[in-house]
C-alpha cells in the first residue's frame, strides 16, 4: 500500500490508494441499500428474538421471554412425542400380551422377545434390589436364574409368587431342639448337601425325622414347593453365609419369618398384584422374563388345531354305494380335487387306473381312501395355526 496526495479531490475517496497507478482506490460511498436494509432487519430480529425467547441475564436470573419457551420444556415435548410414537407402534403388541395367556406368550417368538426385552427394565426397577441384576440373587434373597425353585418354576407358580407375594414359614426350634441338636442337624444337612463328596452321619437322619423337619422338607430333604420349603439336599443355600454352618444353625434355632424372634431369617416377597408401579401387562412380562432367566419349567407346544376346512374344495365326495362303479366314481372325483390343490399322493392316480383296468373294487376303495386322506391333509395344512 502507498499513500499519496489526493490527485482526485472531487472524488469521494478516503485517500487510500492501493497500487502505484492509482487504479485501486478506496472510496467512501454509502454501502448498498440492500445491505443496510438487511442490517436493519437483523437488528429487528435480535430485538424480537430477545423479547420472545429467554435472553438478557440479570440479578442471578435472566429475562424469561414472552413465549415461555425453555430448553427443558422442548425436551419434554420431544420425549412425549417419542412416547406417543412408541405407544402407537407397540400398541398392538401390548394388546396381544394383554389378551394372551402366559403360555401363548412364551410360545410366540415375537411376543416372548418383546416381553423379555421390555421386562428387563421393569425387573431392574422393581426386583433387582432384592434378586440382583438378572435374577442372580443377593445374600438372603433367592436366585431366580437357576432351577432351584422354592415355590416352583412353572409360569403359573411364578405368576402366583409375583402377584400374591410369598412368605415362607419355618418355626424356630422345632419340637424343642437343643443347641447341640441344632449343631448336629446343621452338620448333617451341609454334609448331605455336598452330594458324593459329603459324609453325613446316618445316625443324624433319625434326629431330622424326629424333629418334624420332614413335614416340610420331606423325607429325602428335597423340600416342598407348596410350602416354599427349601430343597436341603442340593447344597444351594438361600441364606448363604461365609460361615454356612452357623447360618444353618441360626435358621434352625430362629426359624424363617418368625416375627417375634429378632434373629429369625426374613424372607418376604412383596405382592405386586395390586401394585401401583406394575400393571397387569407389566406383571405378565415380568413372569415371562423370570421364567426364561433359567430353570423355568418348559411350556408344552400348543396342540395342533386338527380342524378341517369347510371349503367344498376340501370336502370329500362320498361313494353312493360299495359297488365298484360308485367307489371308483368317488375316487376319481376326490382325486380330481387332489390334483386341483396340488395335494395328490403319488400312487393314487396309478391305483385308479389299475382298478379301472381290473375292475378291482377293493383297490378302488383303497384309492378312494387315499384321495380322501390327501384332501384332509391339505385342508389341515390350510387351517393349522401357523405359529407352531
167 binds ligand HEC (CB under 6 A): yes
Other CB atoms within 10 Å distance of the CB of residue 185:
23
CB of 194 to ligand HEC, least distance (A): 14
Among 65, 187, 227, 281, binds ligand HEC (CB under 6 A): 227
**Interface with ligand HEC (CB under 6 A), residue from 115, 172, 189, 319:** 189
| CB half-sphere exposure, 250, CA atoms < 13 A | 16
Site residues for ligand HEC, 348-377, by CB under 6 A, read none
The verdict on 296 binding ligand HEC (CB under 6 A) reads: no
**CB crowding 293-324: b at 16 or more within 10 Å, else e:** bebbeebeeeeeeeeebeeeebebbebeeeeb
Contact between 168 and ligand HEC by CB under 6 A: the answer reads yes
8 Å CB contact between 227 and 216: yes
CB of 260 to ligand HEC, least distance (A): 16
Q: What 3 state SS string does 109-165 have? A: HHHHHHHHHHHHHHHHHHCHHHHCHHHCCECCECCCCCCCCCCCCCHHHHHHHHHHC
Query: Does residue 253 interact with ligand HEC by CB under 6 A?
Result: no
* Beta carbons of 272 and 147 less than 8 angstroms apart: no
Shortest CB 86 distance to ligand HEC, Å:
22
Residues, the chain: 388
Counting residues that bind ligand HEC (by CB under 6 A) gives 50
103 to 122: interface string for ligand HEC, x by CB under 6 A: --------------------
Binding of ligand HEC by 290 (CB under 6 A): yes
Q: How far apart are CA 270 and CA 251, in angstroms?
A: 21
Mark the segment that binds ligand HEC (CB under 6 A) among 54-62, 73-81, 164-172, 363-371.
164-172
Separation between Cα atoms, residue 140 and residue 236, nearest integer Å: 12
Return residues touching ligand HEC (CB under 6 A).
126-127, 129-131, 141-142, 144, 149-152, 158, 161-162, 166-171, 174, 177, 185, 189, 211-213, 215-217, 227-230, 232, 237-239, 248, 251-252, 256, 267-270, 272, 286, 290
Amino acid at each position: 500500500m502507498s499513500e499519496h496526495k489526493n490527485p482526485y479531490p472531487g472524488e469521494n475517496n478516503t485517500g487510500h490508494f492501493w497500487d502505484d497507478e492509482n487504479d485501486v482506490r478506496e472510496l467512501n460511498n454509502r454501502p448498498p441499500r440492500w445491505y443496510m436494509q438487511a442490517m436493519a432487519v437483523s437488528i429487528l430480529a435480535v430485538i424480537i428474538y430477545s423479547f420472545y425467547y429467554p435472553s438478557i441475564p440479570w440479578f442471578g436470573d435472566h429475562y424469561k421471554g414472552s413465549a415461555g419457551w425453555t430448553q427443558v420444556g422442548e425436551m419434554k415435548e420431544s420425549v412425549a412425542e417419542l412416547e406417543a410414537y412408541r405407544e402407537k407402534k407397540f400398541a398392538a403388541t401390548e394388546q396381544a400380551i394383554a389378551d394372551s395367556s402366559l403360555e401363548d406368550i412364551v410360545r410366540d417368538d415375537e411376543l416372548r422377545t418383546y416381553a423379555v426385552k421390555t421386562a428387563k427394565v421393569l425387573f431392574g426397577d422393581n426386583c433387582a434390589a432384592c434378586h440382583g441384576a438378572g435374577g442372580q440373587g443377593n445374600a438372603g434373597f433367592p436366585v431366580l436364574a437357576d432351577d432351584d425353585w422354592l415355590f416352583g418354576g412353572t409360569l403359573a407358580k411364578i405368576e402366583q409368587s409375583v402377584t400374591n407375594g410369598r412368605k415362607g414359614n419355618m418355626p424356630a426350634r422345632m419340637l424343642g431342639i437343643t443347641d447341640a441338636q441344632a449343631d448336629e442337624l446343621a452338620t448333617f444337612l451341609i454334609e448331605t448337601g455336598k452330594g458324593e463328596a459329603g459324609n453325613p452321619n446316618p445316625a443324624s437322619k433319625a434326629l431330622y425325622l424326629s424333629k418334624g423337619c420332614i413335614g416340610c422338607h420331606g423325607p429325602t430333604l428335597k423340600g416342598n414347593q407348596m410350602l416354599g420349603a427349601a430343597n436341603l439336599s442340593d447344597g444351594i443355600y438361600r441364606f448363604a453365609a461365609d460361615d454356612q454352618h452357623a447360618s444353618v444353625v441360626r435358621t434352625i434355632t430362629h426359624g424363617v419369618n418368625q416375627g417375634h424372634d429378632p434373629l429369625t431369617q426374613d424372607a418376604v416377597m412383596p405382592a405386586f398384584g395390586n401394585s401401583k408401579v406394575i400393571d397387569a401387562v407389566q406383571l405378565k412380562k415380568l413372569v415371562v422374563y423370570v421364567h426364561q432367566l433359567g430353570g423355568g419349567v418348559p411350556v408344552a407346544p400348543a396342540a395342533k388345531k386338527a380342524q378341517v376346512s369347510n371349503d367344498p374344495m376340501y370336502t370329500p365326495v362320498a361313494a353312493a354305494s360299495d359297488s365298484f362303479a360308485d367307489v371308483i366314481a368317488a375316487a376319481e372325483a376326490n382325486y380330481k380335487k387332489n390334483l386341483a390343490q396340488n395335494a395328490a399322493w403319488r400312487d393314487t392316480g396309478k391305483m385308479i387306473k389299475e382298478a379301472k383296468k381290473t375292475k378291482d373294487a377293493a383297490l378302488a376303495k383303497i384309492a378312494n381312501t387315499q384321495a380322501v386322506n390327501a384332501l384332509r391333509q391339505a385342508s389341515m395344512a390350510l387351517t393349522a395355526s401357523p405359529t407352531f
